[in-house]
Structure 1
Amino acid sequence: MAERMPHNPGWHLAPGFEPVAEVFAELLALGLDLGATFAVSLEGECVVDLWGGHRDDGLTRPIERDALFPVWSATKGATATTIALLVDRGVLDYDAPVARYWPEFAASGKERLTVGEMLSHQAGLCGMRRPTTIEDHYAHHRLAAELAAQAPFFPPASAWGYHALTFGILADELVRRVDGRPVARVFQEDLAGPLGLELFMGLPPAELDRQVTITPPPGRQQALVEIPNPAAFEAAFQNPVLEGGMANTTAWKLAGIPGAGLGGNARGLARLYALHANNGVLDGRRWLSAPTVAAARSQRVEGVDQVTGNYRRWAAGFHLNMHGLMGPNPDAFGHAGWGGSIGFADPAGRLAVGYTTNRMLVSPPGELDQRLSELLAAIYAALDARKPPSQSAAKR
């Protein structure tokens, strides 16, 4: 039996959520997590804020409250929220062709693809057709021009295929065309800064030491089923080859690529999604209109991923809940990252959740990450216990 880890006196737990801390501590004690953070916002208020474990495999440095984690593709939720902000301001329209804002994008049969379709991975630009390096993605401009001209791997809007890194290039160029700033600056200046989010799409040099060391997953980097479009898979995940250790380099941390390069913690992710969970209102201020929130999370495609073979539902840059990944409510939405980190909103309960980990694990197809599953079970059990007895009994 694992040795029970002591609770950190700095943890924040609203009354009734103490069992969540027990689960979090047990996951660390069992070694399922090396270092992690977990946070929950309910009706816009933080009710759970936990951190613990170690920053590295050598167990030389403990996780402090201000530690930051590479969250990989959970970054896409921050990028999608930034685009929602621009939709709300009227400078973008989910149903307008991308080419309205980025005329060069109309090449190679992409002239009718809408912003919403692009954000839901329907562009067919899952990766580059010529050999690229991760440094090419840091630079942005050359790849944006090439993607605008590039022929897609499947007819646009006929299917969807996961744009692992190119999602960020496409979204970034779209934002630059209508705002003039890169998406990272819009996110930091218009959302992360004003909201006090501990999320950085490109770490300031002074903050580099706050980011923990990531431990890559054992074995193959992706848990794959049969791949429908091998060329799209090779472009998405093998050009360049994605390696977990990339996130430990200074260049990655500084670049903050908008498809996978966010550094942050659970507190920041939960607060970001609290904006969505509360219909665009946070801290008494409306940040997004209710129609924009509804449009951002509306389903735009459902089916088999041409890149990985997985079956999913997508909104405008957000993954829609399936198989309990984001708890029991089917309307939950957010974005997970390679290795386990995730942020999501459950609008039905006005609930938002963030989880980050530096021990990357990849569950087999159809299986959920045990760590997140146990934490969510504890959260929803605590929520159920807070309801009047008649409502809890009816639910059971």
Structure 2
Amino acid sequence: MRSLFFLKLVAIPILFSIGYRFISDRLYSNHKTEIGGVVDTRFEKVREVFRRNFENGWEIEGSALTVYVDGHKVVDLWGGYADKQAARKWAEDTITVTFSTTKAAAALAVALLYEQGKLHYDDLVSKYWPGFGTHGRDNVTIQMALSHMAGMAWLDTPITEEIAADHVKMRQTLEREKPKWAPGTKSGYHAYTYGWIVDQIVRHTDDKKRGIGQFFREEIASKLSVDYHIGLPKSEQHRVARISTPRWLDRADEVLTDFRVFKYLKSLYKLVIDHPLKHIVRNPSWLEAVSRCTVNNPDYHRLEQAGALGMGNARSLASLFDQVIRGKLLNQATLKTISRPFINESDFIFEDTVAKGYGFFHLPINRAGVEYGLGHSGHGCQMIITDFKNRVTIAYVTNGLKTGLYDLCRTYSGLQSSVYDVIEQLNE
């Protein structure tokens, strides 16, 4: 049975992918990949690594990279295709779904409400949203909810498009749902539910009762002039890149480059056995970006889904977090608060140790005298990370999804490494 499973899940798809790639490469445009943008002369090496990702075939569609150092934009690059089949090139203003990096943007909204005195991280969620305190969730603090400890990583109630678009129905669904483990006892990644829970926290603590999309737009994006959206206006749809999922040949090639990527490839196995990840990915059933990509549906870009459907590009994410660490949104006391991880333990869904807190991931950098950076990784290799000590912010987005994440995403890891090569030289 195991050999049959391997044949169906791995061997056949790889053979099919080889044939598909042979044919599709002749259907797609064979125009030479163009790289646009500018870099500070000191960061020219970063441009070389960015270009090499395309030349060696690691970047199969398009991508963008932006780096800020203490308010100065030192790298702003984009290249490849926003839609390869249509030969539509990635432009300076192209935007894409940034998946779970949205969680970091949404966490800034909660941090702003904290700074305004509308909530405290140690407050019970039920203090502001009484209905959440049912089914044993009365001990869940806002910090626990933001740190994926609410026991609500997946929902048994089928989430239809109608429910997802209606915050009242979504609230009622969350209130009725029983937690999947004792809240507060362990951390398990709330891939989608994080977004719906944060939306309700914002609605119940904001004086104007705004949802996360409106609050973020009016209190953060507009004031900081960043082109990032949680709920994309129709007028901006023409700029959106078309996302493609990795072919099996690409997944296999990633593993050959770095065998550690295999731990992410194992996640595909979890999708066919009775594993929590299977329950997470299959509800909503209409929202998929693993084997096929329904996320390309423009209707879904309108949803204020703060866990997975933020829309922007590397420039907007990098500009946002550069301004945050420079005190343009939050004061120094708030920045000091959110800069520290709340937990650093194994996530039982990831089956990996991830430092979390205040809605962010605290990811290892271990360069230039810095242990952790604050930000968030996203499905397919989207990335935002900011380094408080060196005041460096790096953002990367791509519409050609990858298997590995963060430092195990080969297109991104080389870019971050090249940035810190320069930073360390400048610090000498």
Find the counterpart in structure 2 of residue 73 from structure 1: 100
Q: 1:6 to 1:170 in 2, by over 3 A?
A: closer
Q: Quick check: 1:254 aligned with 2:278? A: no
Q: Quick check: 1:310 aligned with 2:355? A: no
Q: 1:273 to 1:326 in 2, by over 3 A?
A: farther
Q: CA deviation at 1:203?
A: 1.3
Picking from 297, 302, 319, the partner of 2:361 is 319
Which runs of no fewer than 5 residues in structure 2 stay unpaired?
A: 1-30, 252-262
Alignment of 1:215-294 (within 5 A): 215-218=244-247, 223-224=265-266, 230=274, 232-241=276-285, 242-244=287-289, 245-278=293-326, 281-282=327-328, 287-294=329-336
Picking from 49, 53, 56, the partner of 1:30 is 56
Picking from 376, 386, 391, the partner of 2:426 is 386
Find the counterpart in structure 2 of residue 130 from structure 1: 157
Q: 1:134 to 1:237 in 2, by over 3 A?
A: farther
Find the counterpart in structure 2 of residue 337 from structure 1: 378
Whole-angstrom distance in 2 between the partners of 1:326 and 1:358: 28
Q: TM-score, normalised by structure 2?
A: 0.82
Q: Is the 8 A contact 2:35 2:79 kept in 1?
A: no
Higher helix share: 2
Whole-angstrom distance in 2 between the partners of 1:195 and 1:32: 34
**337-346 or 52-61: which moved more?**
52-61
Which runs of no fewer than 5 residues in structure 1 stay unpaired?
A: 392-396
Whole-angstrom distance in 1 between the partners of 2:338 and 2:227: 23
Q: CA deviation at 1:304?
A: 2.0
Which amino acid is 2:81 matched to?
A: H
Q: Is the 8 A contact 1:230 1:307 kept in 2?
A: no
Whole-angstrom distance in 2 between the partners of 1:381 and 1:65: 26
Q: Quick check: 1:182 aligned with 2:206? A: no
Q: Is the 8 A contact 2:241 2:399 kept in 1?
A: yes
Q: CA deviation at 1:332?
A: 0.5
Q: Quick check: 1:152 aligned with 2:179? A: yes
Q: 1:73 to 1:248 in 2, by over 3 A?
A: same
Whole-angstrom distance in 2 between the partners of 1:325 and 1:145: 43
Q: Is the 8 A contact 1:192 1:199 kept in 2?
A: yes
Superposed CA deviations along residues 305-329 of structure 1, whole A, max 9, x for unmatched, are 222322211011101113x499983
Q: Quick check: 1:90 aligned with 2:117? A: yes
**217-226 or 306-315: which moved more?**
217-226
Find the counterpart in structure 1 of residue 229 from structure 2: 200
Whole-angstrom distance in 1 between the partners of 2:34 and 2:127: 56
Q: Quick check: 1:297 aligned with 2:345? A: no
The aligned length equals 375
Q: CA deviation at 1:384?
A: 2.1
Which amino acid is 2:205 matched to?
A: V
Superposed CA deviations along residues 123-159 of structure 1, whole A, max 9, x for unmatched, are 0001212222355323332222221232211111100
Q: Is the 8 A contact 1:119 1:316 kept in 2?
A: yes
% same residue? 28
Q: Quick check: 1:18 aligned with 2:48? A: no
Which amino acid is 1:345 matched to?
A: T
Q: Is the 8 A contact 1:5 1:26 kept in 2?
A: no
Superposed CA deviations along residues 83-112 of structure 1, whole A, max 9, x for unmatched, are 111111000110111011101111111112
Whole-angstrom distance in 2 between the partners of 1:292 and 1:91: 13
Q: 1:178 to 1:263 in 2, by over 3 A?
A: same
Q: Is the 8 A contact 1:331 1:348 kept in 2?
A: no
What is the Cα-based RMSD across aligned positions, in Å?
2.5
Q: 1:162 to 1:134 in 2, by over 3 A?
A: farther
Q: CA deviation at 1:331?
A: 2.4
Whole-angstrom distance in 2 between the partners of 1:187 and 1:313: 25
Q: Could you say what secondary structure the match of 2:135 adopts?
A: helix
Whole-angstrom distance in 2 between the partners of 1:156 and 1:197: 36
Q: Is the 8 A contact 2:368 2:424 kept in 1?
A: no
Q: TM-score, normalised by structure 1?
A: 0.88
Q: Is the 8 A contact 1:277 1:351 kept in 2?
A: no
